[in-house]
Amino acid sequence: MHRIVKAHLDSFIKSFGLEAEDESKQFEKFSTHCIVASRFSSSFDLDDVVTGIGEDGIDGLAVVIDEAVCTSVEEAESTFNSQRRNHDVDIIFVQAKRSENFDLGDFLKFKESILRFATQTSYAVEDDVMVNGRYIFDVVLQQVPKIRNGKPSLTARFVTTGLYQKPHALETALADFTLQLNELGLFAETDVKFVDRDELTNLWVGTYSGINASLDLFSVAALPSISGIDEAYLAVVKASDFVNNLLVTSDGNLRTQVFEENVRSFLGSENPVNKSITDTVKSGAASRFPVLNNGITIVSPDVKLQGNTLHLTNFQIVNGCQTSNVLYENREHLDSIMVNVKVVETQNEDVFSELVRATNSQSKVEDIQFLSLRPIVKRVEQFFNTYEGSEGRLFFERRDRQYVGLDIPATRVYSVHEAAKCVTAMFLERPDLAARYPKQMYEEFTDSLFADDTREITFYAACVTMYRFSLLVSNRVIPQNMKRYKWHMLPIVKAIVCGAGVKPLNSKQAATNAQKVIDVMAQHGTPATDLFNQVVSICQSLGEVSPDRLKRQSTLGEMFSNINRPKGVTHAKTVRKVTNR
Cα distance between residue 39 and residue 37, in whole Å: 5
Instruction: Say how far residue 387 (Cα) sits from the centre of its chain.
Output: 25
Residue 454: which residues within 8 A CB-CB, separation 6 or more?
Answer: 376, 448, 505, 506
CA nearest to 9, candidates 475, 37, 18, 193: 18
What is the 3 state secondary structure string of 26-84? HHHHHHHHHHHHHHCCCCCCHHHCECCCCCCCCCEEEEEECCEEECCHHHHHHHHCCCC
Report which residue type is found at 573.
K
Enumerate long-range contacts of 200-205, CB under 8 Å, 24 or more apart: 200/5, 200/8, 200/31, 200/34, 200/159, 200/161, 201/4, 201/5, 201/8, 202/250, 203/34, 203/35, 203/37, 203/38, 204/8, 204/12, 204/30, 204/34, 205/8
CA nearest to 60, candidates 27, 84, 13, 95: 95
The pLDDT of residue 171: 96
Instruction: Say how far residue 191 (Cα) sits from the centre of its chain.
Output: 21
Cα distance between residue 515 and residue 460, in whole Å: 9
CA distances from 380 to 419, 452, 460, 468 (A): 10, 11, 8, 19
SS3 194: strand
The pLDDT of residue 241: 92
- How confident is the prediction along the chain (581 residues), in pLDDT tens digits per residue? 888 899 999 999 988 888 888 899 999 999 999 999 887 767 788 989 999 876 668 999 999 998 889 988 988 998 898 877 888 899 999 999 999 899 999 999 999 999 999 998 888 888 889 999 999 999 999 999 999 889 999 999 999 999 999 999 999 999 999 999 999 999 999 999 999 999 999 889 888 777 889 999 999 999 988 888 888 999 999 999 999 999 988 777 788 778 766 555 666 676 777 788 888 888 877 888 888 888 899 998 889 999 889 999 888 888 888 889 889 988 888 888 999 999 999 887 777 777 776 665 544 444 555 677 788 988 999 999 999 888 889 999 887 667 776 778 889 999 898 999 999 999 999 999 998 888 889 989 999 999 999 999 999 999 999 999 999 988 889 888 888 899 999 999 999 999 889 999 999 999 999 999 999 998 888 999 999 999 999 998 888 888 778 878 888 888 998 886 443 333 333 232 333 32
CA nearest to 170, candidates 95, 96, 101, 252: 101
How many C-alpha atoms does 83 have within 13 Å on its Cβ side? 2
Report which residue type is found at 492.
I
E strands in 324-374: 338-345
CA nearest to 42, candidates 58, 27, 62: 62
Enumerate long-range contacts of 528-534, CB under 8 Å, 24 or more apart: 528/468, 528/472, 529/472, 529/477, 531/493, 531/496, 531/497, 532/468, 532/469, 532/472, 532/477, 532/478, 532/489, 532/493, 533/478, 534/496
Q: Considering the entire predicted model, what is its pTM?
A: 0.76
Adjacency order of strands within the sheet including 212-216: 212-216, 309-313, 302-306
The pLDDT of residue 39: 79
Cα distance between residue 313 and residue 79, in whole Å: 34
What DSSP letter does each residue of 461-491 carry, written as one string?
HHHHHHHHHHHHHHTTSS-GGGGGGHHHHHH
Residue 552: which residues within 8 A CB-CB, separation 6 or more?
Answer: 432
Task: Write phi, then psi, for 417 (nearest 5 degrees).
Answer: -65, -45
The answer to whether the beta carbons of residues 123 and 158 sit under 8 Å apart is no
DSSP code, position 218 = S
The answer to whether the beta carbons of residues 155 and 94 sit under 8 Å apart is no
Cα distance between residue 464 and residue 518, in whole Å: 7
The pLDDT of residue 360: 58
